[in-house]
Amino acid sequence: MGEYSRRSALRAVGAAIGGLSVGVTVTAAERTDRFVVRTKGRTTAGDVEAAGLSVVHDLTEVGYVVAEGSERDAKRAPGEYAPDVSFALDGAVESASVDEHAASATDEPFYGLQWDKRAQGVPTAHETTRGEGARVAIIDTGVAASHPDLAHAVNEDLSRNFTGDGQGAANAAGGYHGTHVAGIVAANDENEFGTVGTAPGAELVDCRVFADDGDATFGGIMAAIAYSASAGCDVANVSLGSYPIPRAAYGRFLAQFLHRTTSYATRNGTLLVASTGNDGANLKYDGPVVSIPAEAPDALAVSATGPIGFNHGDPGVEDGPDTPAPYSNHGSNVVDLSAPGGNYDTAFPQGWFYDLVLSTASVPQFDAAGDYAGAAHTHFWMSGTSMAAPQVAGVAALVSAVDGRLKPKQVQRVLEQTAADAPGGKEYHGKGFVDPVAALESLS
């Protein structure tokens, strides 16, 4: 692609105006030819290979191996096994592009449209720290490391591809979702361009788990979580999930795999921040099914909030930014914190998208023959619990930057003890609405 131009990039997404994104919704698609084998004692990946399987992810540090092959071979493997499952992205994702003349209260031209950062007092938090020294893993569709708002942050040497598609860490088609999530965490606040991230001084590690065909495997996601810990990440953001997964049968087996993996990450210094999901479900009453990874014991589960009527010019129609979003999964037994994820009311056809979350985006480009021709880097509005989780991940990075001695559960406790009360109570907000300024003040 030629030299980046803000105007040309905005033109490239002009046709996308008018839709709604609720972030990543993934559903269990089907069994794959992969199996998750639970190892015992001194069982090694080599022992699994000796049964005729080909090892894809060696996670013996948490007691599992992900391998490919036939079920006949899996039965010969030394330990219990279950089929790995694939998850598919919801393909009905639309978005709205940005007016490049948006008003701003900072050097970043689009800050005036970032109700999410304004509601959290992010510029005030930056007077204490911008997150320097903290490291955050983005476990997602891939991050456009060349985006002008992200190029300063992505550590490409540490970034990894867990899909097996051979395309490298960054998604060749742009990684629109992962790029949006990454910008919420760490968009550059000093380049007089684009948006502001919560922790622009933090380092990002791109852990891509969605292949170019839009699928991710449970085993690949677990491998990325474990890798985040070994790569020294203070925080791992997981803006994805599947609901409902049956608690019985292989659901229980996979839940145990998740629990052991997240426990391993926590013990090794990585706080896992997960979105609760976009089904509008009360997870307190989900009975025989489970939402993963949000319901993992070691995950900090984040629900979504958002305003109605932001920037419409009529304060009388506006609901606050801490208003629970109707699509957000909730439940006092699951939600730990709430954060801005976006809201919407299509009764405002000329400005409903202002209530979504504005962040970085990467749009695939194609030549006349239909071949991929690079990506245009721009900014989009999107909404979902996928957008809420990285708000909290960013605040966790700020806290870790101020006091690197804090362990993951201690960081979580700081966030929970300083969270603000919000309408809807524990069912929608858990301990409350995340407050980065109060969190940092509590450390002084």
Residue 1 lies in a domain: no
Token pair for 101: 């003349």
Residues 364 and 422 placed together within one structural domain of the fold: yes
Residue 185 lies in a domain: yes
Residues 52 and 191 placed together within one structural domain of the fold: no
Q: What is the pLDDT of residue 31?
A: 53
Residues 234 and 249 placed together within one structural domain of the fold: yes
Residues 95 and 78 placed together within one structural domain of the fold: no
Catalytic residue, chosen from 116, 140, 206, 234, is 140
DSSP-derived letter for residue 355 is: G
Q: What is the pLDDT of residue 267?
A: 98
Residue 363 lies in a domain: yes
Q: Which residues of the chain have pLDDT under 70?
A: 1-32, 88-108, 171-174, 243-249, 287-290, 312-318, 346, 348-349
Characterize 127-147 residue by residue with b for buried, 16 or more Cβ atoms within 10 angstroms of its Cβ, and e for exposed: ebbbbeebbbbbbbbbbbbbb
Which whole-number Å values give the CA distances from 430 to 14, 244, 315, 437, in the listed order?
38, 21, 28, 19
Going through 162-238 in order, the beta strands assigned E by DSSP cover 203-208, 215-217, 235-238
pTM recorded for the entire structure: 0.89
Q: Count of domains in the chain?
A: 2
Domain boundary, last residue among 69, 85, 101: 85
- Tell me which H or E stretch contains 390: helix 385-402
φ, ψ for residue 264, nearest 5 deg:
-60, -45
Catalytic-residue membership of 180:
no
Residues 280 and 249 placed together within one structural domain of the fold: yes
Q: What is the pLDDT of residue 255?
A: 86
Residue 271 lies in a domain: yes
Closest CA to 277 of 329, 332, 342: 329
Q: What is the pLDDT of residue 215?
A: 85
Residues 154 and 210 placed together within one structural domain of the fold: yes
Q: What is the CATH number of the domain that holds 292?
A: 3.40.50.200
Residue 68 lies in a domain: yes
The contacts of residue 6 (CB under 8 Å, 6+ apart) are 100, 193, 378
- State the DSSP string of 248-317: STHHHHHHHHHHHHHHHHHHTT-EEEEE--SS--BGGG-TTEEEETTTSTTEEEEEEE--BSTTSS-GGG
Closest CA to 202 of 150, 253, 127: 150
CB-CB contact of 22 with 344 (8 Å): no
Residue 139 lies in a domain: yes
Q: What is the pLDDT of residue 232?
A: 98
Residue 143 lies in a domain: yes
Per-residue pLDDT reduced to its tens digit, 112-151: 899 999 999 999 999 999 999 999 999 999 999 999 999 9
Q: What is the CATH number of the domain that holds 36?
A: 3.30.70
φ, ψ for residue 322, nearest 5 deg:
-100, 15
Residues 66 and 175 placed together within one structural domain of the fold: no
Closest CA to 109 of 148, 146, 151, 145: 148
Q: What is the pLDDT of residue 396?
A: 99
The β-bridge relationship of strands 135-140 and 160-161 is: unpaired
Domain, as residue range, for 52: 30-85
Domain boundary, last residue among 85, 107, 130: 85
Catalytic residue, chosen from 275, 338, 386, 400, is 386
Count of Cβ atoms closer than 10 Å to residue 316 Cβ: 6
Residues forming beta bridges with residue 66, ordered by sequence position: 36, 57
Catalytic-residue membership of 303:
no
Count of Cβ atoms closer than 10 Å to residue 368 Cβ: 6
Q: What is the pLDDT of residue 1?
A: 32
Residues 58 and 163 placed together within one structural domain of the fold: no
Residues 136 and 246 placed together within one structural domain of the fold: yes
Residues 39 and 123 placed together within one structural domain of the fold: no
DSSP-derived letter for residue 108 is: S
Residue 313 lies in a domain: yes
Catalytic residue, chosen from 57, 147, 177, 259, is 177
Residues 296 and 167 placed together within one structural domain of the fold: yes
Q: Give the span between the Cα atoms of 231 and 153, in whole angstroms.
A: 15
Q: How many CA atoms lie within 13 A of 399 on its CB side?
A: 31
Residues 35 and 142 placed together within one structural domain of the fold: no
Catalytic-residue membership of 97:
no
The β-bridge relationship of strands 81-89 and 215-217 is: antiparallel
